[in-house]
Chains A and B, each alone.
Chain A
Amino acid sequence: MKYVLDNVWIGLFVVVVLFAAFYYVGWWASRKTSSEEDFYAAGFSIGPVTNGLGMAATWASLATFMGVIALIQKLQVPFVYLWIQWSISIPLLTLLYGTSLRRMKAFTPASFIKNRYGNGAAICVVFWMCLVMVMYALGQMIGLGQAFEMLFGVPYNTALIVAGIATVGFITMGGMYGASYNAAFQMVVMTIAMVAPMGAIMKQMGASGWWFPPLLYGDMVPNMLAAIPTFFDMKYDFRWYFALIPAFTLGPVALPHLAMRVFTSSSVKSARWAVVWFTIFLGLLFCGTYTAGFAGNYFRATTGNIIEKADQTILVLNVFYNPTIVAAFVMGGALAAGLSTIGGNLMAIAGLVGNDLLGIMAPNMDRKRKMRWGYMALGLGGVAAILLAFKPPAFLVTSVLWAFGLLACTASPAILLGVWWKEANKLALIISSTVCGILYIIISPHVLKTIVIGKGLPAALGMSGGMVTVPLSFGLFIVLSMVFNRMEAFKAFAPTLADKQLVDRIHGWGEEYEESRYQSTVWPLVAVVVCVIVLIWGLQPWS
């Protein structure tokens, strides 16, 4: 059964109004953007509530709005658990390194890598981060194409081109100011679009707590169990749940577009309060998503209707149960979800290329030219994502989730050990990041189908691959750092006094340097032992 809006003009009206608002914010923001600080970090000036909304919007992508509901239909409750753990991404990155890097006024995490490890390591990390950002933006572009397809009933490829170009346009115009304020506005739109219409759907499905759909649908549970007795089963063994940590908790910690939200804060303290707002706003949206996942399963099981594209479940439910104008608004919410994340992704690409990479390759280029290159990188990143989205994977969330594992083994160790361990060595970083990144790609089912760790969805999402390559990357990085720092032949790669002073400074010690701080040998070795255990566990056959 195919579901599209009854009246295309209503859909068109909603989209035009929303895009007009986004372009207006982009235009307004472009007038405030006169320096690199403005373009990449919104002048380090965003307050906690706006930033909390912006953080939530950047994190809550189309994968949240559409993809997660599709995968709740496939995996049911275990996928809810998988999603819950993402709410700690920004709190964890803020705690572990966000405030430290905000203190040094970094534009992206790669700015820190460049200062801490030098140019070679920075190029390596920038490459992986750009790749992940394009993959991430790809997932959003697919969702945008699908939303436009449903709104106007046009073919997917046409929808993709129109949505993609319109999106890249307003993001390029506004820089980080535009991305921040648009993201805050988009979070409000997407939360209302997710939660309010869901109340109407839950009422028609028979929930007495329809007035607060994120949590009050418990009285539907007996009917759900009658229709799908296994819905609440914790279907997998403990390793499946543990495997969420290496790939999905440690990966997003290094996502540059999330870290950049922390960097835009007006102060380190403001960043921490922004995180509080982030958890409140994101929690509301995420819980709305779980309700939609529940309702999607319930709809299929009790009405017998088949949803051809599982990613479109939220939209289908609204077309089925709600008036056309409400369904169109929900699709507008889906657009907002995708746009805010693409905004963050493309801003990250612009920062990584325009600031970090050009800072290395053309250090004498003047700031205005560098910014122009940043704009160009932003536009090209968008075009690359549009082109890749012409042949999408079955689930839009697959490409996004798989990319997290890649980041967890290529960038997370570099940032976390770089901030917390003075012995972290630049050559060790380049080797461990390159080897483990390539290994992660090889052992995934997406490249060489004969060499795969794990099988089924855990392999496709990178969970089983991450359980091997993430501990390997951390362990290899630590061991090689210890070895290289003690060998005369590799003395040139050892951390210098300036590198070590940087570590003290970003922790807030100012000019007060102490050699013994962040210099332990025992704890890194304990971490290596833990990594080896996890690695061996990950290599065992997956059921």
Chain B
Amino acid sequence: MNTKEMLYKKEIRITIIFTLLLLLMAHSASLFVLFPGMQSKITAAGVEGGFGGFPVQYIVPILLGWFGLAILCVVMALVCNKFDDEMEQLANDTKAGRSRETA
């Protein structure tokens, strides 16, 4: 596989993975609906198996939608910016190659 093909596949892979992870951070509440066993039990006595006093089905989506998303975006910036450097390198190499051919 040549560099161009490798970079193309990498771009698609990065985009799909980060899209899915972003959706997960934002829609984690759906998992608690799909798998009700994950929910904290709420009784007259209070919340069983919660976090910070809250039922997990409330606080986990909130935390993922803030801190989880922020961490994911840091990773996304690092990975995508590094990928941009590789793309720029390829574009510069191509341009230099064309200039040499013209000369």
Chain A interface secondary structure, helix, strand, loop or mixed?
helix
Cα-based distance from A237 to B34 in the complex (angstroms) = 9
User: A residues bordering B, Cβ < 8 Å?
Assistant: 77, 80-81, 84-88, 91-92, 95-96, 99, 215-222, 225, 229, 232-234, 236-238, 241-242, 244-245, 249, 268-269, 272-273, 275-276, 278-280, 283-284, 286-287, 290, 507-512, 514, 517
Contact of A215 among B30, B34, B52, B90 (CB under 8 A): B52
Q: Is the CB of A85 within 8 A of B65?
A: yes
Q: Is the CB of B74 within 8 A of A276?
A: yes
Interchain Cβ contacts under 8 Å between A and B, 16 examples = A80-B62, A84-B29, A86-B26, A88-B25, A91-B73, A225-B44, A232-B58, A234-B32, A238-B33, A269-B84, A283-B66, A286-B66, A287-B62, A290-B62, A510-B94, A512-B91
Residues of chain A within 8 A (CB-CB) of B46 are 221-222, 225
Residues of chain B within 8 A (CB-CB) of A509 are 87, 90-91
Cα-based distance from A81 to B94 in the complex (angstroms) = 47
Contact of B27 among A244, A278, A510, A517 (CB under 8 A): A244
Contact of A279 among B53, B62, B73, B94 (CB under 8 A): B73
Cα-based distance from A452 to B67 in the complex (angstroms) = 39
Residues of chain B within 8 A (CB-CB) of A85 are 26-27, 65
Contact of A507 among B11, B18, B52, B72 (CB under 8 A): B11
Residues of chain A within 8 A (CB-CB) of B8 are 514, 517
Contact of A216 among B32, B52, B58 (CB under 8 A): B52
Cα-based distance from A441 to B3 in the complex (angstroms) = 48
Q: B1-42: which residues lie under 8 A (CB-CB) from chain A?
A: 4, 8, 11, 15, 18-19, 22-23, 25-27, 29-30, 32-34, 39, 42
Q: Is the CB of B73 within 8 A of A275?
A: yes
Residues of chain B within 8 A (CB-CB) of A80 are 58, 61-62
Residues of chain B within 8 A (CB-CB) of A220 are 53
Cα-based distance from A229 to B87 in the complex (angstroms) = 55
Residues of chain A within 8 A (CB-CB) of B34 are 238
How far does the Cβ of A93 sit from chain B's closest Cβ, in whole Å?
10
Q: Is the CB of A81 within 8 A of B23?
A: no
1/0 per residue B75-103: CB within 8 Å of A? 01100110010011011001100100000
Residues of chain B within 8 A (CB-CB) of A87 are 25-26, 65-66, 69
Q: Is the CB of B39 within 8 A of A283?
A: no
Q: Which of A85, A238, A244 has the most CB of B within 10 A?
A: A85
Contact of A508 among B47, B52, B73, B87 (CB under 8 A): B87
Contact of B76 among A84, A95, A280 (CB under 8 A): A95
Q: Which of B25, B33, B46, B80 has the most CB of A within 10 A?
A: B33
Residues of chain B within 8 A (CB-CB) of A508 are 84, 87-88, 91
Chain B interface extent, by class? 35 or more
Closest A residue by C-beta to B15: A95
Cα-based distance from A269 to B59 in the complex (angstroms) = 32
Residues of chain B within 8 A (CB-CB) of A88 are 22-23, 25-26, 69
Chain B interface secondary structure, helix, strand, loop or mixed?
helix
How far does the Cβ of A92 sit from chain B's closest Cβ, in whole Å?
5
Cα-based distance from A508 to B80 in the complex (angstroms) = 12
Cα-based distance from A275 to B69 in the complex (angstroms) = 10
Q: Is the CB of B23 within 8 A of A275?
A: no
List 11 other contacts, CB 8 Å, given A507-B87, A512-B91.
A84-B65, A85-B65, A88-B69, A95-B80, A96-B15, A241-B29, A245-B23, A279-B69, A283-B67, A510-B95, A514-B8
Q: Which of A88, A268, A508, A509 has the most CB of B within 10 A?
A: A88
Q: Is the CB of A225 within 8 A of B42?
A: yes
Cα-based distance from A321 to B77 in the complex (angstroms) = 42
Q: Which of A80, A219, A221, A237 has the most CB of B within 10 A?
A: A221
Closest A residue by C-beta to B75: A276
Residues of chain A within 8 A (CB-CB) of B50 are 218, 221
Q: Nearest 8 pairs between A and B by C-beta? A: A218-B53, A283-B66, A510-B91, A84-B65, A81-B29, A85-B26, A272-B77, A88-B26
How far does the Cβ of B37 sit from chain A's closest Cβ, in whole Å?
13
Cα-based distance from A508 to B39 in the complex (angstroms) = 44
How far does the Cβ of B19 sit from chain A's closest Cβ, in whole Å?
7
How far does the Cβ of A100 sit from chain B's closest Cβ, in whole Å?
11
Cα-based distance from A81 to B29 in the complex (angstroms) = 6
Cα-based distance from A174 to B58 in the complex (angstroms) = 41
Q: Is the CB of B98 within 8 A of A276?
A: no
Cα-based distance from A85 to B28 in the complex (angstroms) = 9
How far does the Cβ of B1 sit from chain A's closest Cβ, in whole Å?
13
Cα-based distance from A139 to B28 in the complex (angstroms) = 28
How far does the Cβ of B58 sit from chain A's closest Cβ, in whole Å?
5
Q: Is the CB of A77 within 8 A of B58?
A: yes
Closest B residue by C-beta to A283: B66
Residues of chain B within 8 A (CB-CB) of A268 are 84
Residues of chain A within 8 A (CB-CB) of B57 are 232, 234
Contact of B47 among A95, A216, A221 (CB under 8 A): A221
How far does the Cβ of B35 sit from chain A's closest Cβ, in whole Å?
10
Residues of chain A within 8 A (CB-CB) of B59 are 215, 218
Contact of B65 among A276, A280, A286 (CB under 8 A): A286
Cα-based distance from A85 to B42 in the complex (angstroms) = 24
Q: Is the CB of A276 within 8 A of B70?
A: yes
Contact of A272 among B42, B76, B90 (CB under 8 A): B76
How far does the Cβ of A238 sit from chain B's closest Cβ, in whole Å?
5
Residues of chain A within 8 A (CB-CB) of B80 are 95, 99, 272
Residues of chain A within 8 A (CB-CB) of B62 are 80, 84, 215, 287, 290
Residues of chain B within 8 A (CB-CB) of A287 are 62, 66
Cα-based distance from A520 to B23 in the complex (angstroms) = 24
Q: Which of B8, B11, B62, B65 has the most CB of A within 10 A?
A: B65
How far does the Cβ of A290 sit from chain B's closest Cβ, in whole Å?
6
Cα-based distance from A280 to B19 in the complex (angstroms) = 19
Cα-based distance from A512 to B15 in the complex (angstroms) = 21
